[in-house]
Chain A
Amino acid sequence: MSGLGKRGSPRRRLVSGIAFLLPNILGFAAFTLVPLVMSFGIAFTDWDTLRHNIFRHETLRFVGFENFSWLFHHPDFLHYLGNTFFLMLGLPFAIAGSLGAALLLTRVSHRPVARRGAFIFATLFLTGSGLLLRMGGMSQVGVWFIFGVLAAVSLVAGVLTGGSVYRTLFYLPNFTAGVATFVLWKKLYNPSGPINAALGPVLDGFASVVRSAPDLFSWGVPLACGVVAAALTLWQLWRLRQHWDDATAGPVSVVSGLLMLAVPVGLQLHWLGLSAVTAVGGPLGVVLIGAVLILKRPRRWGPVCARDAGLSAEIALALGLVPLLTLLAVGVTWGSRLPALAAVGLPAPNWLGDYDWAKPAIMIMGLWAAIGSNNMILYLAGLSNIPPELYEAADMDGASPLQRFWHITWPQLAPVTFFIGVMGVIYGLQGGFEMARVMTKGGPAGSTTTLSYFIYIEGFETGRLGYASAAAWVLFALVFILSLLNFRFGNRSAND
């Protein structure tokens, strides 16, 4: 007798199949599909829990796009949307972190020398963590016990099992409940907590060095930042010209590559107090001139590439280059103030309490979580799928480790990176609720309120379900558009 799928009449098999699927279908319909459709409808009504509920049966009014229109006139909405996008700037770092962890763990499992290094690293890491917790106020005996045992276990298990125990250890953050993680980080970020206790002496030492040669730092820091920024800018211009000449970059890619340079310059002009028109118009004008100069150049091989050829490479580069150039712009703009700040001592940041530090603090926490996340597992799987003959060929050609990474590993991981990027954008836009609720209550001054937390407040604290639903659908539209852009311009194939 045959097994599943070959017994009984087709009708009977259909009924059996539906019966098995029914609980899931019903659950999906009741808790996802129906609410989804309802929320879409609610977004066009004035549903307010104060007036429309089982106790007060006031007529629901169709308001058209009024909720959406009001959303964009709400002083907070754009602020919180900005917060959400700002926090998403951490995504490239999170991807880099998980890739780094995966590369490290792959090396550990393959190379005995690296494995020994990893043992030492893991032991030092755990001991250091114990010290930090001790400084943070945990009981001495408890800390030594916990980390003594963990260090011993990691060493013994590492010797016995190779890299797998380290993979497990690195994956631990993903097992930890989100709220518990947030509470832990809240304690770590305490101004008198372990992180600042460790930073304090470093900052004191650095401040004394700055005080010993204030003139050097007052012009040295802006100059150094300026030189590095100029070098990076020139390198990018040279790159774009080369790619245009070689017909590996289309006009869209060239303009995009130039636009990424305009962002930090515009920000710097804004910080220097220039008007918005100048800060936006100036860099755009320069981009225009640069684009004309490059695009007018004759190509060596003729116009053989598509308009958007090489665009995904420009986007990938922008993820790293824009934040770096922005940091350098900060150094150029405010570096000269360093001696004045150091004169009164450099205080450790007030991570979650300071308006300017709260978002970076959240991003650092996100980076930590990303290192030991599902993304790391995906990268590990991706790395194991790279054909070894590619590396063997590269070795025969005398490729350096960096060249092996840049020309083999990174392109071969493109599909994984694409998937992680898409999911990261989706989760990044939807996320931030638990973190805002547990760690900061959306503060200080709304600096960590994300769209998801805003939707919750509007829906359940203010009771305006129509408005909250409209905000949720705007969020959906953003996710949809960014995902489409990702699919359109993302590098999905290892052979691209």
Chain B
Amino acid sequence: MASVRLNPAPAEPNELPTLKRSFLISVALLSLASALLYWTVPGKRTDIPVIYWVTQDDENKRATVAAFHQWLADEHLPAVKLRIDNTNQEPTKKLVQGLSGVGSDIMDLYGYEADLFPATGMIQDVTEDAKRLGFSPAATYPALAPDFIINGRQFGFPRNAGVSLNWINRETFAKYHVPEPPMRWTMDEFEALGKKFVAAANPPGTRERIYFTNLVPREQLRRGLGLANYNETCTRCTLDDPRNVQILERVRRWTVEDHLIPSREEGEAMAADISGDGSMFSHFTSGRFAMIYVGQWALIILRPRGTFQLRAVEPAMDGFVNTDMGGGAVSVYAHSKHLEASIRFLQFLTSPHFNNLIARIADGLPPVPKYAETEEFLRPAAHPNEWGTAAVFAEEARTTGITMSKSPFVLQSILYRVEKELTETMVSGRMTAAEAAKAMGDRLNAEIQLRIDHDPALRKLYDQRVAIQRQIDARRAAGKPVPAAWINDPFHLAYYRAHGWLEKEAKP
């Protein structure tokens, strides 16, 4: 058979083997890199357990880490390496990581997180450990307890405490020859003094407006008039009350007509002048805000910026004087691989090592009250310009501080959003104060209904509390006292106690 010799095809690049090789080399390199990454994870390089703390990476937190290591050594406890994780502070990241089983061992919880995260089950219940290791609520300010106790169970411990007050830049008041506010003042006094200040500080032709204060605490003003966000058992939102209308009208007038406080847009614009969270402090030190409403931790930011003549006074309000009490709660992740070591960190928060550090750096009040009585805390030698302010914060925390109202039937994030959005709408003139107040009540009560409709456990709790609420209302109508145990809202509890509406409480 004659063979037919075909011309060979033109030589083509040997593509397939080359691609295969490239592919396999890529896979090998990626596997190697992954292995290297895995073995360089700090926990793999040492026998000492490594735990991660989600918080800011700053000088004070690094000092806290050092103090923790020192405390472990002094207490002859097993060594633990604490590392700061500042890349996962964003609430959503914390939540998603936590619910995926890869949360950090220790977490700082702020605002609505303190409510939301324990509800998911991702935060370790440390009630028994707290009793065993001595970091139960009795170790800190009693008023702080609602921030980390939920339904009688403990989910953390505060790493500081404090109330928010008006910080006064005395030089700004002196500059415009306006008298400084008194320690305790009414809303009318605030308005009169504010108008005087704004008129003096903003002559015609002023390019950058100067404000009396950065904000007024609406929740505290409402509480002054005897109104909380919720009723006594937190089963109904009460923001549709006429007292809220009264406060909203004041806020609108102070913002739009008197320009005592910046509107949201003005505030945003001012923040845009200076990047980062420090804008409020920059405007305070430069004199664009005569006062700022913030906790004692402000000193951490103010101290490096210079020496300012400071005072602290209560926010102006009518009626029942109260201040916003809060602490930066620290909690332990329920799926922590080093649960015991992480819980030890909460115990460390009660130690002199930590409390003296907080007192020294002025990151609010030390969580254990007795450390707020030291000379170093009250009159820091290096900062005579602050003398007097620490004592005011400590005193207010003991006497007027009340934590925020929280309902198990509404997430705080929803309350914040609805209240803020409707207040902004009202300030911008798109609805009246009465309409805004009614909308707040309607929307938050609809939210309560939605939650209990979907969650049988919540429904049961709700029904129990509604039954108690009926009894409270009946007793109040009859002028009879009410057992303290019936009241879930911290403001109502303080308000009833102050007015003698509680049944005689047993001394602790």
Contact = CB atoms under 8 A, between A and B. Distances in A.
A397 interface: no
B334 interface: yes
B411 A463 contact: yes
A350 B443 contact: no
B268 A353 contact: yes
Contacts of B96: 460
A4 B15 contact: yes
B192 interface: no
B421 A16 contact: no
A20 B13 CA distance: 19
B424 interface: yes
A49 B264 CA distance: 31
B120 A2 contact: no
Contact of B428 (A54, A445, A461): A445
A16 B24 CA distance: 12
Contacts of B61: none
Interface in B95-139: 95-96, 99-101, 116, 119-122
B121 A53 contact: yes
B269 A350 contact: yes
B95 to A, nearest CB: 7
Specify which of B269, B421, B425 lies most central, judged by the most chain A CB atoms within 10 Å of its CB: B269
A192 B269 CA distance: 8
B340 interface: no
A49 B207 contact: no
Contacts of A7: 16
Contacts, number: 115
Nearest to B273: A190
B37 interface: no
Q: Which one of A1, A7, A53 has the greatest number of beta carbons of chain B within 10 Å?
A: A53
A394 to B, nearest CB: 47
Given A353-B263, A353-B266, A49 B99 contact: yes
A460 B12 CA distance: 54
A2 B12 contact: yes
A352 B268 contact: yes
Given A191-B266, A350-B269, A444-B424, A51 B455 contact: yes
B120 A49 contact: yes
B92 A460 contact: yes
Interface in A39-88: 46, 48-51, 53-56, 70, 75
Nearest to A467: B450
A353 B119 CA distance: 35
A432 to B, nearest CB: 17
Interface in B446-462: 450, 454-455
A46 B428 contact: no
Contacts of A355: 425, 428, 430
A96 B23 CA distance: 45
A137 interface: yes
A275 interface: no
Contacts of B122: 53, 55
Contacts of A16: 16, 20
Contacts of A388: none
Contacts of B422: 445
Given A55-B121, A193-B272, A444-B428, A460 B16 contact: no
B9 interface: yes
A354 B122 CA distance: 40
B99 A444 contact: no
A20 B12 contact: no
A289 interface: no
B58 interface: no
Interface string B230-269: 0000000000000000000000000000000001111011
Interface in A356-405: none
A444 B95 contact: no
B265 A353 contact: yes
Contacts of A49: 95, 99, 120
Contact of A50 (B14, B23, B120, B334): B120
Contacts of A183: 275
Interface in B260-307: 263-266, 268-269, 272-273, 275
A241 interface: no
Interface residues of B, number: 49
Contacts of B120: 49-50, 53, 55-56, 463
B208 interface: yes
B207 A460 contact: no
B119 A50 contact: yes
Contacts of B92: 460-461
Contact of B424 (A137, A189, A445): A445
Interface in B16-46: 16, 19-20, 23
B207 A54 contact: no
Given A2-B9, A54-B99, A353-B265, A462 B411 contact: yes
A121 B97 CA distance: 51
A3 interface: yes
Q: Which residue among B207, B263, B417, B430 has the maximum number of chain A CB atoms within 10 Å of its CB?
A: B417
Contact of B425 (A50, A445, A463): A445
Contacts of A115: none
Contact of A19 (B12, B23, B428): B23
B413 interface: yes
Contacts of B200: none
B20 A354 contact: no
B176 to A, nearest CB: 21
Given A1-B9, A55-B334, A56-B121, A352 B265 contact: yes
A397 B13 CA distance: 54
Nearest to A186: B272
A451 B135 CA distance: 45
A3 B411 contact: no
Contacts of B19: 4, 20
A48 B269 contact: no
Nearest to B442: A75
A462 B444 CA distance: 13
A3 B443 contact: no
Nearest to B429: A355
Contacts of A462: 411, 413-414
A411 interface: no
Interface in A85-105: none
B421 A137 contact: no
Interface string B402-444: 0000000001011001000110110010100000000000010
B269 A443 contact: no
B416 to A, nearest CB: 10
Interface string B307-332: 00000000000000000000000000
A445 B436 CA distance: 11
A446 interface: yes
A50 B150 CA distance: 15
Contacts of A107: none
Interface string A1-38: 11110010000000010011000000000000000000
Interface in A318-374: 350, 352-355
Contacts of A46: 454
A436 to B, nearest CB: 13
Given A54-B99, A192-B269, A353-B265, 16 more contacts: A4-B16, A16-B16, A50-B119, A51-B455, A53-B99, A55-B335, A191-B269, A350-B265, A350-B266, A353-B263, A443-B424, A444-B424, A445-B422, A445-B428, A460-B92, A461-B91
Interface of A: 1-4, 7, 16, 19-20, 46, 48-51, 53-56, 70, 75, 137, 183, 186-187, 189-193, 350, 352-355, 440, 443-446, 457, 460-463
**Nearest 8 A/B pairs, CB to CB:** A353-B265, A55-B121, A3-B12, A445-B425, A445-B424, A56-B121, A460-B92, A191-B269
6 contacts: A50-B116, A55-B335, A443-B421, A445-B430, A461-B91, A462-B414
Interface of B: 9, 11-16, 19-20, 23, 91-92, 95-96, 99-101, 116, 119-122, 207-208, 263-266, 268-269, 272-273, 275, 334-335, 411, 413-414, 417, 421-422, 424-425, 428, 430, 443, 450, 454-455
